Amino acid sequence: MVTVRDALAAVVGHHQAGRLDEARPLYLSILRAIPGQPDALHLLGVLESQQGHSGRAVPLLRRAVALRPDDGDFAGNLGLALRAAGDAAGAARVLGRALALDPGQVQAAYNLGNLLLADGDAAGAAARYRQALARQSRFPEAWNNLGTALLALGQAGEAAQAFGEALALRPEDMEARINRANAMAALGRPGAAARLRRQAAALAPAQADALHNAAVSALDDAGLDRTVTHHSRLDDVRVARAVRTLGHALVADPHHAAAGDALVGAALALLQAGRADTGLLDAAARAAMTALRRNPRDPRAAAVVAYRLHRRGRLDLAARFMGRFSRRFIPAELAADFELRLWSMVRAERRFLDGIPSADEQLSAFAPLEVLFEPPAGPGLGEGPILALSCDDGYYRRFAGALLESAVAAGGPAVHVHVINPSPETEADLAAWRARLPLGASRERVDFAGWDDHRRITYYACIRFLRWHQLLGRLGRSLAHVDADCTLAGGLGALEEAMAGFDVGLLRDGRWRGPTRDITVCFAWFQPTPRGRAFLERTAAYIAWFLRRGRGYWMLDQAAPSCVLDALERRGEGPRVCAFDVLDFPWVRFIGEK
């Protein structure tokens, strides 16, 4: 005759082997024979909970606990089922009541600690883990979770000790090793942290968590734990190794969110500095698509997809993709996010460009251009290019003098200076420069009341294109636009020769940093040819469209020429462009990194 013990042993064998569909009818058979059998009720409740049926599990486990209220395992599993059912408070009450009856219930204390930790009560969780460990010190899971609670409390030293206890009991525990690495990093010991992460990856070469942690540590060691620029000193070998490791983590688990986010973040940081190769961007774009399925409002992931389209030569598709993505956000969210702000100004679709009113039609929305005096014309003066600079009064007083002095030293090319809200002193200074240079000047008066600094500075950077459009039409001479905070390294003669046969001269950045950095506008040359005029007019109109709507952000002045050029070239109407290398441009000395 088969006893209840024999029947339970057989069904538990199926259960522990994962054959849950075979175990369930055997549990039910036992309960039909003995309706109140507590072990069968308990284990069937555990089985239902494992399969996600907490609604079925809770009644079974309640009956088991009622029959055996002093069993910590029973109470612990009821608590977990209640938690899964969304009743965290009920779960805590069950476990608390069990511990009040018997403080020595190790499993109940441990499970209550887990509940408290999940609810954010790290201090309460730590107390319960210590309660469990006081009765059973050889409990590696409790030591590991105690360390997690202590780390959340900012007690990194004690957390490291707890993780060490867990590792002493279970040296192969990859999770405890990663957690100890995090504690070491919090203690300011990056070398020890990196060593532990490498060990974790070696222990579990196909384990995504270990690979992710090792890669993040390597990225920090390589220099990506701080802002990256083109001139940053990075360990390229470590960067490449870390990126490969993140790729391995995503092969092990294609849906590993942290590894995907780390790859996206590394790609963006390196891309902004001009140091992301196409292979990295392709891999990051694949991870980004998975991230967007997980969170359709992830702007960093969307930006990586758009940058990849741009890298593939499809700026129009990148702009369209980001335009659709941006509809998920309200204006305040768009303005607050760096990537959303940048991409909101990238509109390379032909229909958009065709729909923008002409620059002249939009002039009435801006302060009038007031010409104070024009560059002198006549033999030797009125035929050559004009050096053009635009700035506000403060920038003029800080930088323009050095630029004008360099123009004098370069042989005195014709110069036109446009100043926004010039002071009387600035206007007098401009008039005085006419004795040394063939100088023209203009101004505009703008009321910036209610404008924040970002909007005002963007206006300073962008309005010059509208003014150069007006000046090109007025004077009919080539314009060599430069930033006010630069100086000439020589005359314009060599540049004029280089521009022969071209409509536009642009500083190109071959580092593929995105459509707001492909063209650097600290210098540009506009010829009075039909296509030179058309390019400048469309760029000015593009900028005016954004400024009129208060949607101009930092980098609008560089997004506009990139998008206009892409759209014009796509339909075969692009200007002949003389492309100069921003990293090797000997005619002008620029301030700061470009």
> What domains are defined for the chain?
1-136 (1.25.40.10), 299-354 (no CATH), 366-589 (3.90.550.10)
Distance between CA 375 and CA 439 in Å, rounded?
A: 5
Q: What is the DSSP string of 125-171?
A: HHHHHHHHHHH-S--HHHHHHHHHHHHHTT-HHHHHHHHHHHHHH-T
DSSP 510-558: TT---TTTSEEEEEEEE-SSHHHHHHHHHHHHHHHHHHHTT---TTHHH
Check residue 593 and give its pLDDT: 54
Nearest alpha carbon to residue 574 among 582, 563, 565, 587: 565
Give the C-alpha distances (Å, rounded to integers) separating 338 from 399, 454, 523.
Answer: 29, 13, 25
The pLDDT of 15-41, averaged and rounded, is: 86
Q: Torsions phi, psi of 448, nearest 5?
A: -95, 15
Predicted confidence (pLDDT) per residue in 205-235, tens digit: 667 787 787 788 778 777 776 666 666 667 7
- 463 with 444: CB under 8 angstroms? yes
Is the predicted pLDDT of residue 436 greater than 70, yes or no? yes
Of 272 and 567, which is predicted with more confidence? 567
- pLDDT tier, 492 (very low <50, low <70, confident <90, very high otherwise): confident
Pairing, β 386-392 against β 479-482: parallel
CA neighbor of 522 nearest in space, from 566, 461, 454, 578: 461
How much is the pLDDT for 379? 54
For residue 143, give both structure tokens: 């030591």
Residue written as token pair 């899971």: 141
